[in-house]
Structure 1
Amino acid sequence: MIKEIREWAVAIIIAIVVIVVIRMFLFVSFSVDGLSMDPTLEDGDRVVVNKFIYDISDVERDDVIVFNSNEESAYVKRVIGVPGDTVEMVDRTVYVNGEPLQEDYVVHQGESYMDNFTLSELGVEGDVIPEGQYLVLGDNRPVSRDSRDFGLITEDSIIGEVQLRFWPLNEIAIDF
Structure 2
Amino acid sequence: MEKVKSEWFDWIKALLIAFGLFFIIRTFFFAPIVVDGPSMMPTLHNGDQMIVNKFVYQIQEPDRFDIVVFHASDRKDFIKRIIGLPGEHVAVENDQLYINGEQVKESFLRERKEKMPSYQTLTGDFQLENLPGGHETIPENHVLVLGDNRNNSTDSRILGVVSMDQIVGKTSLIYWPLDRIQIIHD
- Fold in common (TM above 0.5): yes
Matched, 1:29 2:32: yes
Tell me which amino acid in the other structure corresponds to 2:156. S
Structure 2 residue matching 1:7: 3-state secondary structure: helix
Does residue 69 in structure 1 map to residue 72 in structure 2?
yes
Please show how residues 38-49 of structure 1 align to structure 2 within 5 Å: 38-49=41-52
2:58 corresponds in structure 1 to 55
Deviation at 1:71, TM superposition (A): 6.1
Partner of 1:115: 124
Question: CA offset at residue 97 of structure 1?
Answer: 1.7
CA contact (8 A) 1:66 1:74 kept: yes
Contact 2:94/2:121 (8 A) holds in 1: no
Q: Secondary structure at the match of 2:171?
A: strand
Q: Which amino acid aligns with 1:35?
A: P
Q: 1:35 to 1:12 in 2, by over 3 A?
A: same
Which structure would you say has the larger Rg?
2
CA-to-aligned-CA distance 1:76-126 (integer Å, 9 cap, x gap): 0000000011110112211112222211323455556x7011111103445
1:96 to 96, 99, 102: 99
Q: What is the aligned residue count?
A: 175
In 2, are the aligned partners of 1:29 and 1:47 still within 8 Å (CA)? Answer: yes
**Aligned partners of 1:52, 1:87: CA distance in 2, in Å?**
27
Residue ranges of structure 2 left out of the alignment (5+ in a row): none
Structure 1 contact 80–137 (Cα < 8 Å) conserved: yes
Q: Is the 8 A contact 1:39 1:105 kept in 2?
A: no
Alpha carbon RMSD of aligned pairs, Å? 1.7
Per-residue Cα deviation, 1:113-155 (whole angstroms, up to 9, x for no partner): x701111110344521111111000001110110111111111
Q: Which residue does the alignment assign to 1:135?
A: 144
Q: How high is the TM-score relative to the length of structure 2?
A: 0.87
Q: How does 1:76-87 map to 2 (within 5 A)?
A: 76-87=79-90
For normalisation by structure 1, the TM-score amounts to 0.92
Where do 5+ consecutive residues of structure 1 fail to align?
Answer: none
**What is the CA–CA distance in structure 2 between the aligned matches of 1:121 and 1:92, rounded to whole Å?**
17
- After superposition, give the CA deviation of every residue in 1:17-42 in whole Å (9 maximum; x if it has no partner): 00000011111111100011111111
Deviation of 1:59 (Å): 1.2
Alignment counterpart, residue 20 of structure 1, candidates 16, 20, 23: 23
Structure showing the higher helix proportion among its residues? 2
Tell me the amino acid that sits aligned with residue 45 of structure 1. D
Instruction: Measure, in 1, the Cα distance between the counterparts of 2:14 and 2:26.
Output: 18
